[in-house]
Amino acid sequence: MQSKDLAKGVAIGIGIAVMTPLVIAALAPVVKPVARSALKAGVRLYEKGREKAEIIGETLEDITAEVEEELMDSRHHSAEAPAPNTAESTADSKPDPFEDIGNNARH
């Protein structure tokens, strides 16, 4: 019984080995154009995706440049404005209330 199964398996293997090249040769005219079309579609999708990625990259670069410029402008304007708690502004605007206390004690 095992020898019959073995012979059957060998016969099927030989049949597949002989038929495979024949089937491939028969299907080649049909499979080749389908494969070419699939490859063309894949290449087109890749190119479109690459173009979209470049556009997104350029947009992000533009936004980054605008933000950096705004930050530089805000830093520049804050550097030009006088600081509100400098010694000069305090001395000019309000007299020291404790300054007279020491002078009155001597009199």
Average pLDDT value for the chain: 82
Rounded distance between C-alpha atoms, residue 27 and residue 21, angstroms: 10
Half-sphere exposure (CA, 13 Å, Cβ side) for 13?
6
Tens digit of each residue's pLDDT (9 = 90 or more) over 20-56: 988 888 888 888 899 999 999 999 999 999 999 999 9
According to the model, what pLDDT value does residue 66 have? 96
Among candidate residues 21, 26, 3, 1, the one with its CA nearest the CA of residue 11: 3
According to the model, what pLDDT value does residue 88 have? 52
Tokens linked to 46: 């890749």
- Among 15-24, 37-46, 77-86, 90-99, the range with the most confident prediction by mean pLDDT is 37-46
According to the model, what pLDDT value does residue 44 have? 96
The structural domains of the chain, with segments of one domain joined by +, span 28-61
CB-CB contact of 82 with 89 (8 Å): yes
